[in-house]
Chains A and B, each alone.
Chain A
Amino acid sequence: MRNPPHRPTTESPGVRIAATLVCFLFLGVFLVLPLVAVFVEAFGKGVSAYFASFQDPDALAAIRLTLTIAIIAVPLNLVFGIAASWAIAKFEFKGKSLLITLIDLPFSVSPVVAGLVFVLLFGAQGLLGPWLIAHRIEVIFALPGIVLATIFVTFPFVARELIPLMQDQGTSDEEAALTLGASGFMAFWTVTLPNVRWALLYGVLLCNARAMGEFGAVAVVSGHIRGETNTMPLHVEILYNEYNFVAAFAVASLLALLALLTLAAKSFLEWRYGDAIAGRAAH
């Protein structure tokens, strides 16, 4: 009892060290090791083999397609996120919590099911299939289908970052702007948007990472046509299944890099603008 006791609000040093080791081991095995494996495998046959993987026109087509999808899907979900959070955070109406639940719904739907619903809607056997064929409009196994599936799975990202934050901020800023003679649009542009800009950027980053990396939903609707409907993740799959591991991991390393950049930007935003991002319950 002579020993000065450790602070009463923490565990004994032994427990602390053990728990920290468990934390390192668990995260190390489950998170860090796979990430390291991607880059090690990609450079396994040397740097030239790595860069040779990007000479393949199909790889370049996959990169182009992935960028195209993100450029279409992310802005659409951004506009939706702003509209939804404006309606939900600035107004009181019946059924609001149901609406929030519905917006979150795509998060809990399997990506494969997400892809399937579009096949059932637009596929040859689908509800609108015969009409689309008659008018020679391609949705499934083509760009529109892939974009739709991507929008579905990335649907809630921007909205769910903005809604809690804008609910916390209330309506007094906007009301102040209105009393000073601002139009509704001006109030939004000059007061609301600056208040939420970092959360918005945060949501866009996450949305973009998922849009570029989506696999399951896109796999179902794409048809895996090389050079045409293959996104980067799908191209990784094809290369891997062909035992072309260096090329598979090389393309994968680009996606992993995107993930790392996203995480870095996310950590920076949290560190620098933590208060400006956090609503009551972010995740």
Chain B
Amino acid sequence: MVPTRERRQTRFRFRRPSAIPGFPLAFGYTLTYLGLIVLIPLATLVMRASTLGFSGLWNVVTDERVLSALRISFGLSFGAAFLNAFFGLVVAWVLVRYDFPGRKLLHAAVDLPFALPTAVAGIALAALYAPNGWLGEPLSHLGIKVAYTPLGIFIALVFVGLPFAVRTVEPLIAEIDREIEEASATLGATRSQTLWRVVLPPLAPAILTGFALAFARAVGEYGSVIFIAGNIPYISEIAPILIVIRLEEFNYAGATGIAVVMLAISFATLLVINLIQTWSRRRFGDA
């Protein structure tokens, strides 16, 4: 009896036996659907890119216009994600900790960028920040031009990334045990010391995760940007638009090259998020 069990434990087994039926069907269907919809199409992209060869890919990516589009995309996305991480933390803190009229409404509004189609957001932002728009006009008197400049792109990217930054930290703030803060106070810490040394550090992984999610979303964003950006090459042209332009020129190689770079960034961001979460689980016992 005992030896069989031992042998069983050491032998590789894909799945732990279970009394619950339906695994082969559910698992098979999941893999098939995932493969057909996601994996095979993405593999096609990578395959197509590999036919360009390394030098072909290099030529596409080091093209002046492509480089500037990638720079604009990543630079502005980074900035927008940073702004979102900061304000997202403030917003989440206010929404969880303070009580004021309109709190529930604001709480619900945070998800708006998830639900509002990007094209709708795009034309709304363009209308708001156009030189004769509600915000564009007063800003233009201050000498600040938003529409058709990188600043416009930045605003659109803040819009789409906002809920990620708020929603990743919000549940953690809600979970903070008040006793922790009281303990810090009884030990003589001022309120700002408590916030900085006791409250903030455990939130750091969530803030980073929110930052990475907002960044990933911003890098790939298309719909909400194109209307406000003006899409001027070298100035306000982001990488996704350049992919579309290359496609319209039937320049598949060009489109594929940019897309592969962006896909690589997506994978890298996912990896970073997973690493942050593994690290925080190991450190703090749970996510």
Direct contact between A and B in the complex (CB less than 8 angstroms)? yes
Mark A1-32 against chain B: 1 for CB-CB distance below 8 A, else 0: 00000001111100010011011101101111
Main secondary structure of the interface of B (DSSP, over half): helix
Could you tell me if B128 and A33 are in contact, using CB atoms closer than 8 angstroms?
A: yes
Q: A90-B18, A91-B16 are in contact. Are A41 and B255 (CB under 8 A)?
A: no
Q: How far is the CB of B91 from chain A (nearest CB, A)?
A: 5
Could you tell me if B124 and A99 are in contact, using CB atoms closer than 8 angstroms?
A: no
Q: Which of B94-132 contact A (CB under 8 A)?
A: 94-95, 97-98, 100, 102, 104, 106-128
Q: Is B141 an interface residue when CB atoms closer than 8 A count as contact?
A: no
A32 to B178: give the CA distance in the assembly, Å: 32
Q: Is B279 an interface residue when CB atoms closer than 8 A count as contact?
A: no
Could you tell me if B114 and A103 are in contact, using CB atoms closer than 8 angstroms?
A: no
Q: Is B219 an interface residue when CB atoms closer than 8 A count as contact?
A: yes
**Chain A residues with Cβ under 8 A from B33's Cβ?**
80, 83
Q: Which candidate, B2-10, B59-67, B220-228, is the interface stretch facing chain A?
A: B220-228
Q: Is B30 an interface residue when CB atoms closer than 8 A count as contact?
A: yes
Could you tell me if B95 and A80 are in contact, using CB atoms closer than 8 angstroms?
A: no
Q: Is B234 an interface residue when CB atoms closer than 8 A count as contact?
A: no
Could you tell me if A26 and B220 are in contact, using CB atoms closer than 8 angstroms?
A: no
Q: A20-B100, A33-B134 are in contact. Are A113 and B227 (CB under 8 A)?
A: no
Q: Is A135 an interface residue when CB atoms closer than 8 A count as contact?
A: no
Q: Is A84 an interface residue when CB atoms closer than 8 A count as contact?
A: yes
Could you tell me if A20 and B34 are in contact, using CB atoms closer than 8 angstroms?
A: no
With beta carbons under 8 angstroms apart, the residue of A37, A117, A125 that contacts B128 is A37
**Chain B residues with Cβ under 8 A from A67's Cβ?**
none
- The number of chain A residues touching the other chain, given as a range, is 35 or more
Could you tell me if A216 and B223 are in contact, using CB atoms closer than 8 angstroms?
A: yes
Could you tell me if B20 and A175 are in contact, using CB atoms closer than 8 angstroms?
A: yes
Q: How far is the CB of A277 from chain B (nearest CB, A)?
A: 12
Closest B residue, CB atoms, query A252: B120
Q: Is B229 an interface residue when CB atoms closer than 8 A count as contact?
A: no
Could you tell me if A236 and B119 are in contact, using CB atoms closer than 8 angstroms?
A: yes
Q: A9-B182, A10-B97, A105-B38 are in contact. Are A27 and B116 (CB under 8 A)?
A: no
Could you tell me if A101 and B27 are in contact, using CB atoms closer than 8 angstroms?
A: no
Could you tell me if B112 and A127 are in contact, using CB atoms closer than 8 angstroms?
A: no
Could you tell me if B162 and A30 are in contact, using CB atoms closer than 8 angstroms?
A: yes
Could you tell me if A148 and B128 are in contact, using CB atoms closer than 8 angstroms?
A: no
Q: Is A54 an interface residue when CB atoms closer than 8 A count as contact?
A: no
Given contacts A105-B270, A106-B38, A281-B287, 20 further A-B contacts (CB under 8 A): A19-B93, A31-B109, A35-B124, A38-B120, A99-B34, A105-B266, A110-B262, A113-B262, A117-B44, A119-B252, A171-B20, A175-B19, A187-B20, A213-B115, A213-B118, A233-B117, A240-B227, A252-B124, A263-B115, A267-B108
> Chain A interface (Cβ within 8 Å of chain B)?
8-12, 16, 19-20, 22-24, 26-27, 29-35, 37-38, 41, 79-80, 83-84, 86-88, 90-94, 99, 101-113, 116-121, 125-127, 148, 151-152, 155, 171, 174-175, 178, 183-185, 187-188, 206, 209-210, 212-216, 219-220, 232-234, 236-237, 240, 245, 248-249, 252, 255-256, 258-260, 262-264, 266-267, 280-283
- What are 12 A-B pairs with beta-carbon distances under 8 A? A8-B191, A11-B195, A27-B91, A27-B106, A35-B112, A84-B26, A111-B223, A112-B243, A152-B41, A214-B117, A264-B108, A281-B287
Q: Which 10 A-B pairs have the closest CB atoms?
A: A110-B220, A213-B117, A184-B21, A215-B223, A216-B222, A34-B124, A259-B115, A117-B41, A8-B185, A87-B26
